[in-house]
Amino acid sequence: MNRMSMLLLLDRLEDLIAGSPRLPLTEKALVNAEEALELLQKIREVLPEEIKQAEWLSAEQERLLERTRLEADQLLSQAQQRAAQLLSEHEIVKAARQHAQRISEEAAAQAAAVEQGANQYAEEVLGQLEVRLERLVADLSRSLQQVRNGRQELRRSQ
């Protein structure tokens, strides 16, 4: 199941609760417990997919950071090789050092920019997922409480 299925299941649960008959003079609803519990079970089955997505995003962030580190290392290695090449000639030793320094600084700046972008992207995506999961948990808690309240009301009225 996917995110759309999760939303569909939540909509069905909401419809079940909203469409349940009300007890006179109260906000209590007589919810079909079997249907509500069945929907909650289906939601529990879908929830691990949301968690897998969060884990994938975390792994993707790590992969991006590792790639950034590797690129920075490669750029630094290239800068060092270039610097060694330039040092072979005595007249351009000073120029070689300056050039190597510039390359090293550029590589560090590029690596920092890529890492910052990857971190920002991962933080935004994980933040959005956190908000969605918090809403989902809150919705599930409210729905479960409504089912429990409805069951208690049924027991009291019998």
Q: What DSSP designation does 89 have?
A: S
- Name the pTM for this structure: 0.36
Residue 21 per-residue DSSP state:
P
- Count how many domains the chain has: 1
Average pLDDT across the chain, whole number:
86
pLDDT digits (tens, 9 = 90+) for 94-128: 777 888 899 999 999 998 999 999 899 889 988 99
Residue 108 to residue 63: CA distance in whole angstroms: 19
- Containing domain of residue 141, as a range? 3-157
Radius of gyration of the chain (CA): 29
Per DSSP, the three-state class of 30 is coil
Q: Please tell me the predicted confidence (pLDDT) of residue 128.
A: 92
What region, left, alpha or beta, does residue 25 occupy, with left being phi > 0 and alpha being psi -120 to 50 degrees? Answer: left
Nearest to 140 by CA among 148, 128, 129, 130: 148
The stretch 53-67 carries a mean pLDDT of: 87
Which pair of structure tokens corresponds to residue 64? 């991006």
Range 15-43 average pLDDT: 91
| Tokens describing residue 118 | 């990857």
Q: What is the pLDDT of residue 133?
A: 92
